[in-house]
Amino acid sequence: GENVEQHPSTLSVQEGDSAVIKCTYSDSASNYFPWYKQELGKGPQLIIDIRSNVGEKKDQRIAVTLNKTAKHFSLHITETQPEDSAVYFCAPSQYSGGGADGLTFGKGTHLIIQP
């Protein structure tokens, strides 16, 4: 099975600064790399994802970068805002075109935005 590690477990940044969360995985067959955001009292929600044929993807203030050789991918949040405070999970998986059979999640990173 996939071994997934996320670092750091807690990250505190000043509002307006950037935040970077790293996810390391073990299965070289993984080809789909999503990041989920979980706000307090809610279920996780997909915020950005990337496939293995792409090295970087951006969506406004968030971006994901992938290094398949080193088997890690990172979430980058720029110009952080209070609403970015949440727990973030990575969930690398192998997409075979047949659909989802469940994800292996990292243990999560608690991002705290200090005013």
Binding site for other proteins (CB under 8 A): 1, 9, 32, 34, 36, 41-46, 49, 51, 89, 93, 95, 97-108
> Torsions phi, psi of 4, nearest 5?
-125, 130
Least separation in angstroms between residue 81's CB and other proteins is 23
> DSSP string of 8-31?
-SEEEEETTS-EEEEEEE--TT--
What is the arrangement of strands in the sheet containing 4-7, beginning at the earlier edge strand?
A: 4-7, 19-25, 72-77, 62-67, 56-59
- Tell me the two tokens of residue 51: 């496939």
Least separation in angstroms between residue 32's CB and other proteins is 5
Residue among 78 and 85 whose Cβ is closer to other proteins: 85
Residue among 70 and 100 whose Cβ is closer to other proteins: 100
Residue among 31 and 85 whose Cβ is closer to other proteins: 31
